Structure 1
Amino acid sequence: MLHTSPGLIDAIRSRFAHVDACPFQGPRIFFENAGGALTLNSVVETSAKFAAIPDNQGRDNIASHALVDIINTAKADLSVFMNAATGQFFVGESGTELLFRMIRTACVNAPKGSKVIGSSIEHPASRSAAHRWAEIAGLHYVNVQHDGETGLVTADDYRAAMTPDVNVATIVHASPVTGMGMDVAAIARAIRDISPDCFIIVDGIQHAAHGQLDIDSYGVDGYAISPYKVFSRHGYGVAWISDRLTALPHDQLIDAPSEGWEFGTRDTGSYATMSDVVAYFDWLGAQVSEETDRRARIEAAGRAIHAYETHLTDAMINGTGNLPGLRDMDHITILAGADNPAREGLVSIVVRDTPSAQVVTRLNQEGIRTHIRKADHYSGNVLTPLGLSDCIRISLCHYNTEQEVAQLLTVLNEMAG
């Protein structure tokens, strides 16, 4: 377990840029990981290296051949990292843009009058795309209502709304507002039990940093992540699509290879930095297990990350040392409940009689970075049914420490008055 290995936590933290200090603010605790995780030092170095290379892919010269090899290596690394034996990986503008593209393609190829299904817990990236392209393609959108008390949508919830004419489905792997993880494989099975050929597209953006990625076990057709939320950098997204989604007619250049989904010359550095991320998970797996197989080490890293982040959120909720936890502070309310096994490294709260913006400002003044979520086009689908105008999102990753949690609890406890 990571929390019993302080030397390992130090080694982990040493691999990330700005782990304990902001270049603008100075010393700070970073609990804004759901807005974008810390960046690996190796990613910073790789980004600078490739930013300086003038050559493009697809040319007949040594540098161009090397760039193609680096891209192919990164795609192979991603297939191990996300356990995808078939299909293909490609990069785009962002995770959101890639979700739109996959959902658009599935919708415009669906029979007119058929249905698109999704849930109310989803991020607007997938919900907006599904609503927009269902309307344009002459499809009917079916909403599956999530449980506001648990912050979850389940396979049974989807099953109750399913009919054989559902041709496109969207699933969010984890909510960036509640932090709850959905059982994607079970939901996909419930969908396919009733509509076997449905195209299923998953938003994995919030989930990717917090545990296992195992595409072969999900039975889906599309999966998107945002690399800046899984230890890489801004400026691109990564998608995996199944062979059957690859084969659908889609936006592409005239007479281009039919399997191609990328537009223009992509940044080789973006692919290379994903290899850095995979190498980091591989390294961590070797620290927490005796596994010799690369995929097995990555799985071990995922289990260790999930267990440690659960330890940190438990400390936040139940208290650590002599400090009371969030559940013991009468002025604090925890969204989706104090005891929720679906939680993935995120606790959202409201403070009684104190606007969330004021709480975030106070924490910032104490060097603790968090974020406000408002009942707007990003989070209103989750907060409005709870009667909340906003909340404070405290999001962590496995490089955070119990001491950082204690400092957060100290400040929040002082706000009781």
Structure 2
Amino acid sequence: MSMKNYPQGLLFSDEIQKQVREKFCNVESDSFGKRIFFENSGGSLRLKACIQAVADIDSHPDCLGRHQAQADVLDAIVKKGYEDLRIIFNTQKGSIITYLSASQVMFNIVGAIAHNVKGKNMVVSVLEHPSGFDSVEYYAKQTGRELRVLQSNPATGCIDVDEVIRNVDKDTVLLSCMYSSNTTGGINDIEKMVEAARAINPDVYIIVDAVQHAPHGLIDLSKLDIDAMDIAPYKFFGCRGSGVGWVSDRCAKLPHNRILCYSEDTWELGSTAPHVFAGYSAIVDYVCWLGSQYIDSADRRTLFEEGIHRIELQERGLLHRALEGTAMLPGLRSIPSVQVICDNPDLTQRDFILPITFENLDVTTAAKEYIKRGIYVFERKSPNHYSKRIVESLGLDGVIRVSPIHCNSPEEVDAFLRATMEIAKL
């Protein structure tokens, strides 16, 4: 199925929507009452199966590698978790890394490259999460390299390929760029960026932060000639407390902190947490289940691909509804005093993140007004370190970030639009 065939998306049937929502915790309410959760870029709604895995598995005191049957079960859970991470990345090459957070993953990878690869400059995007930007800046200073920053296109919220061509040269150590922005929603053309960078410097190390994009669009490392990628399960319907990275064979063998009795391409440190790996499998199980509602296949990656495609189409359909509204309700593009930032008309180049502003309200006040109406969103603004560099690159001092996911419904989007109209009149 080509995603380009559905430029306005394709919503779930009522039955699929119902089944999807039943698989998530706290979809319509939390312990504080009924609400609509449109803050999934801060950490997505959780799958019930991921939460249950913690209770079912971590309640056992047993460790891996022992003689009792429970240890064998734990070994199998961890093995399957690694296999399912490779389903997500779609590669059997390279090494998998797990830490407590995706930020730790990024800092460790960037540090290994910076300390062991020759070159005079390091390149990073202005749109990066601080884990990406700060790690490159930190190690550039520590190793005496020039820091070069790819600037954003305010019209699309993306990084243009020309920026890569302008900044990467034969002396570039590494290039780091997000797959999609967690503030603008713009999807970067990573394949063309990689091709452009390798045409200039075939040996450059390339890192892609896929934390934002992985839950919303397909990742396929078999088609990307890169050296590292990270994802965050807590933004992929899973639990907090782990970050996952992948490194290429050449990157994996760079000197790094490791247990010396293990192979030189092993990055894992300390005992594994089987319930965390069960959570990885629960995420893949869910996406495959969704794919199985549309196609019949015995291949797990095939089902996973279909599931992600269906998530992408559903979210694009919700995005189109939010922007254009319905016959009875105006969309964001038509509500006076509301501005959609980086409003790229090509919805195939956007994850479902809506950065908006109000003419009559600052972004913090507006976010609180949404919360008063039972809709959870969040502001990204200067001088907050997580936001300043990004929003200022767009010529702004802040935006309200609206970030639903596929289990949100058209009715919730409509409720958001009604709240927006009220807030616009304040």
Q: 2:224 aligns with which of 218, 222, 238?
A: 218
- Corresponding position of 1:248: 254
- Corresponding position of 1:57: 64
Query: How far does residue 338 in structure 1 lie from its aligned partner after superposition?
Result: 5.4
Instruction: State how far apart, in whole Å, the 1-side matches of 2:151 and 2:277 are.
Output: 37
- Corresponding position of 2:388: 380
- Corresponding position of 1:313: 319
Instruction: With the length of structure 2 as denominator, give the TM-score of the two structures.
Output: 0.94
Contact map agreement 1:327 1:338 (CA 8 A) in 2: no
- Tell whether 2:387 aligns with 1:403: no
Instruction: State how far apart, in whole Å, the 2-side matches of 1:234 and 1:16 are.
Output: 15
Q: 2:184 aligns with which of 174, 178, 187?
A: 178
- Tell whether 2:303 aligns with 1:297: yes
- Corresponding position of 1:124: 130
Instruction: With the length of structure 1 as denominator, give the TM-score of the two structures.
Output: 0.96
Give CA-to-partner distance per residue, 1:215-239, whole Å, 9 cap, x none: 1111111111110000110011111
Instruction: State how far apart, in whole Å, the 2-side matches of 1:411 and 1:286 are.
Output: 36
- Tell whether 2:402 aligns with 1:412: no
Give CA-to-partner distance per residue, 1:214-266, whole Å, 9 cap, x none: 11111111111110000110011111111111111111234443222112112
Instruction: State how far apart, in whole Å, the 2-side matches of 1:264 and 1:78 are.
Output: 19
- Corresponding position of 1:32: 39
Query: How far does residue 139 in structure 1 lie from its aligned partner after superposition?
Result: 2.0
- Which residues of 2 match residues 189-228 of structure 1 at below 5 A? 189-228=195-234
User: Quick check: 355-364 or 100-109, which moved more?
Assistant: 355-364
Contact map agreement 1:119 1:143 (CA 8 A) in 2: yes
Instruction: State how far apart, in whole Å, the 2-side matches of 1:171 and 1:309 are.
Output: 23
Instruction: State how far apart, in whole Å, the 2-side matches of 1:378 and 1:169 are.
Output: 20
Query: How far does residue 2 in structure 1 lie from its aligned partner after superposition?
Result: 5.6
Percent identity, please: 30
Instruction: State how far apart, in whole Å, the 2-side matches of 1:45 and 1:69 are.
Output: 18
Query: How far does residue 129 in structure 1 lie from its aligned partner after superposition?
Result: 0.2
Instruction: State how far apart, in whole Å, the 2-side matches of 1:301 and 1:190 are.
Output: 31
- Corresponding position of 2:279: 273
In the comparison of the two structures, how many residue pairs are matched? 415
- Unpaired runs of 5+ residues, structure 1, are none
CA RMSD of aligned residues (A): 1.6
Contact map agreement 1:226 1:238 (CA 8 A) in 2: yes
Contact map agreement 1:85 1:216 (CA 8 A) in 2: no
- Corresponding position of 1:9: 17
- Corresponding position of 1:337: 343
User: Quick check: 216-225 or 136-145, which moved more?
Assistant: 136-145
Secondary structure of 2:313 counterpart: helix
- Corresponding position of 1:262: 268
Instruction: State how far apart, in whole Å, the 2-side matches of 1:51 and 1:294 are.
Output: 26
- Corresponding position of 1:87: 94
- Tell whether 2:339 aligns with 1:324: no
Instruction: Write the letter of the residue equivalent to 1:192.
Output: R
Instruction: State how far apart, in whole Å, the 2-side matches of 1:288 and 1:201 are.
Output: 33
Contact map agreement 1:167 1:195 (CA 8 A) in 2: no
- Tell whether 2:161 aligns with 1:158: no
Secondary structure of 2:215 counterpart: helix
Contact map agreement 2:11 2:314 (CA 8 A) in 1: yes
Secondary structure of 2:195 counterpart: helix
User: Quick check: 260-269 or 276-285, which moved more?
Assistant: 260-269
- Tell whether 2:108 aligns with 1:96: no
Query: How far does residue 339 in structure 1 lie from its aligned partner after superposition?
Result: 1.7
Secondary structure of 2:415 counterpart: helix
Instruction: State how far apart, in whole Å, the 1-side matches of 2:99 and 2:277 are.
Output: 11
Contact map agreement 1:148 1:382 (CA 8 A) in 2: no
Contact map agreement 2:81 2:280 (CA 8 A) in 1: yes
- Corresponding position of 1:367: 374
